[in-house]
Chains A and B, each alone.
Chain A
Amino acid sequence: MSLGDSSTQLGRVRGLGSAQEGGEHWIAERVSSVALLFLGTWLIASLLFLPALDHGTIREWLRTPLGAVPMALFIVTAFAHGVDGLKVAVDDYVHDAGNNFALNTLLFFLAVGGGALSLFALGKIAFGAAA
């Protein structure tokens, strides 16, 4: 598949697709959005159903598989979807190729760094000593 071809078979038959590249990016952004629909609902519902929101109660919840695993998925998906979305805005408004590349690279580094930091904190809670 060359750059600009549609990512779907129907789109290729119709001669549709991206003006430049980004069909895969478009699909990935939508897949992560559906994942966040489930994970976000899970996060809000979980916090509402916790008996309290103090340090000990939340840590205890994040030390269970049903707390830690969806939270890890939420962290990865939220940072991925966030940087995918910001890339669309940058590509729309920053037309200079050099600035566009620099800004998208910076946002990518920040997202990977922030996601890694969040996963580290979660891992420390889940696998560390009980408080």
Chain B
Amino acid sequence: MAEQRARPLSPHLSIWRWGPGMTVSILHRITGGALTVAGLAVLTWWLLALAGSGDDYADFTKVATHPIGLVVLIGLTWAALQHTLSGIRHLIMDTGENFELRANKTGAIATIVVSLMLTAALWFYILGVAK
């Protein structure tokens, strides 16, 4: 058994500057928190409304299709896609890959670009079908 050395503690809140990598890292935390609090609350309410009567479900869809409700749902969709893409990026980095500066920066920017494009495509489709 190797000797235990003192391991570094995170986070290093005083040592950073703005850049794609740290922006995506912060977005990963914010979107993860939003998905856990707001996303799981919406999931629970949706399932309870489905388990109830048609009137209960009408109450849910009334709020969900209200402009503010739509903004929340579109926001949660983007949060889920951004968190998923930056999560995949983190899984790749967990294997020790993708630490070259240029590739790492490109990957970080790509998660934001792709998550925004997928959110737009998904909601153009949903709102297009609903009409």
**A residues at B contact (CB < 8 Å):** 4-5, 12-19, 30, 33-34, 36-37, 40, 44, 48, 54-56, 58-59, 62, 75, 78-79, 82-83, 85-86, 89, 92, 111, 114, 117-118, 120-122, 124-125, 128, 131
Contact = CB atoms under 8 A, between A and B. Distances in A.
Given A19-B8, A85-B32, A86-B36, A78 B80 contact: no
The secondary structure that dominates the A interface is helix
Q: Interface residues of B toward A: which range?
A: 35 or more
B68 interface: no
Contacts of A75: 43, 47
A55 B54 contact: yes
Given A17-B7, A19-B7, A85-B32, A12 B48 contact: no
A94 to B, nearest CB: 12
Nearest to B10: A92
A16 to B, nearest CB: 8
Contacts of B15: none
20 contacts: A15-B3, A15-B4, A15-B5, A19-B7, A19-B8, A19-B9, A30-B91, A34-B91, A40-B84, A78-B43, A82-B32, A82-B40, A83-B36, A85-B33, A89-B32, A111-B40, A117-B44, A117-B48, A118-B44, A118-B47
Contact of A55 (B10, B57, B91): B57
A25 to B, nearest CB: 14
A33 B91 contact: yes
Contact of A78 (B40, B50, B125): B40
Interface in B81-121: 84, 87-88, 91, 94
